[in-house]
A = this chain, B = another copy of it.
Amino acid sequence: MLSARVVLFDVNETLSDTTALGGAFAALGAPEHLAPTWFAGVLRDGFALTAAGASAPFADVGAAVARTLLRAHLEPAALDGAVAAVLAAMGELPVHPDVPAGVRALAATGVRLATLTNGGSAVPAAVLGRAGLRDAFEALLSVQDGPGAAWKPAASAYRHAAGVLGADPADVALVAAHPWDVDGASRAGLRTVWVDRSGSPYPEVFARPDLTVAGLEELAPRLTPLR
């Protein structure tokens, strides 16, 4: 069992299903397999800025990586529109099938729910709104509002979010599909849940999660809400 006052969700890949991003690249006439390379590249460059003590908005990093990848596949005149289409696709992703019931069951326990993303708040608002789940979350937080706008997994990003929510970091449970997010939250003093929908091995280089679930429906039965 895991005790928490607030359950703090990562958004991209944790709530939204990014496999649909491949279709966005294909619709532009580019290979579907650019989607995972693009997403890994966006995180690589955002984390690089964080490691160097700097920061840039997710949309700017995402646009730059998309431009570099797409220019080998598209006409120059099509690039601006294609870059915008890739970024727009992030807000048009569906949630994973386990998300609606899992979130509703969690909300019914009385625990507080929020999101924390390296992007802005428009993407979670769009994704959760379309899934009819926006009302279950008391806040949609962005690292852009934290100290230096440092991206997760910098400790300051998690601690600032806990502070905004008025909770001790140890009373906040970060839920993420990404091991790097679990690792950073753990080092920042939060509780952690890894959502492993595909039975992946957990990378040994990262701090381990307090709890691993195969889908969000497993979360409510294993959580003790703190008041």
Chain A residues in contact with chain B, CB under 8 A? 31, 33, 36-37, 40-41, 43-45, 47-54, 56, 60-61, 64-65, 67-68, 71, 150-151, 153-155, 179-180, 183-184, 187-188, 200-201, 203-207
Contact = CB atoms under 8 A, between A and B. Distances in A.
A153 B64 contact: no
Given A40-B44, A52-B154, A64 B184 contact: no
A44 B33 CA distance: 18
A203 B71 CA distance: 13
Given A44-B44, A44-B47, A52 B205 contact: no
Contacts of A183: 48-49, 52, 54
Contact of A68 (B37, B41, B45, B203): B203
Given A51-B151, A51-B154, A52-B188, 14 more contacts: A33-B33, A36-B37, A37-B40, A45-B180, A48-B180, A49-B205, A51-B184, A54-B183, A64-B203, A67-B201, A68-B200, A68-B201, A68-B203, A71-B200
A51 B205 contact: no
Chain A: interface secondary structure? helix
A187 B54 contact: yes
In the complex, the count of this chain's copies comes to 2
Contacts of A206: 45, 49
Contacts of A154: 51-52
B36 A71 contact: no
B37 A153 contact: no
A199 to B, nearest CB: 9
Contacts of A203: 45, 61, 64-65, 67-68
23 contacts: A31-B33, A43-B44, A43-B48, A44-B44, A45-B179, A47-B48, A47-B50, A48-B153, A48-B183, A49-B183, A51-B51, A51-B151, A52-B183, A52-B184, A52-B187, A53-B155, A54-B183, A60-B205, A61-B203, A64-B201, A64-B205, A67-B201, A68-B201
Given A33-B31, A37-B36, A40-B40, A205 B61 contact: yes
Nearest to A154: B51
A76 to B, nearest CB: 10
